[in-house]
Amino acid sequence: MANDLWEYSPTCGHRTGTDLAGWSVMATDGFVGRVDGHSEEAGDAWLVLDGGAWIFGKLLIPASAVLRCEADEKTIRLALTRGQVEDAPQHLSEADRADGQYRQDVAAYFGEAARSR
C-alpha cells in the first residue's frame, strides 16, 4: 500500500474523474463486494465497499489499499485478503467519515494490515 493511506498509488491505474460506483472489488483471494461510493480528493481518497450478504453493512477502504483499477473489467483489486476486508471497522453512515475517532480506527486498522503484508 502507498505511504499515504488516503491516496491512490501512482501505479494502480486510477484515473481521476472515473465513476467507480458499482465496480466489482476483489481481494487477493476473491470477490468482496461492489463500490457503493468513493472520493478521489487529494489526501482523502477512499472507497465505500458494499459487501452485500457476505459482509453485513459497508466498509470504508482507504485508497492506498487499491492495488489495481481495471477499467475494461470495471474491477478494483485490493492489496488485502478477504479476511482483512471482513475484519475492517464497519462504516455505519456518512457521518462516520467526518468522525475523528472512526477515522483513527480505520487508519490504525489499515496501517497494520499494510505492515502485515
Split at pLDDT 50, 70, 90, the class of 2 is very low
Burial class (CB in 10 A: 0-12, 13-18, 19+), 97: middle
DSSP state of 96: G
- Nearest alpha carbon to residue 86 among 28, 8, 39, 45: 28
Domain 24-115 grouped into CATH 3.40.50:
no
Neighbour count for residue 89 (Cβ, 10 Å) = 17
Q: Could you give phi then psi for residue 68, rounded to 5 degrees? A: -155, 140
Mean pLDDT of the region 83-93:
88
**pLDDT over 90 (residue 12):** yes
Amino acid symbol at 73: E
| Residue 81 vs residue 111, higher pLDDT | 81
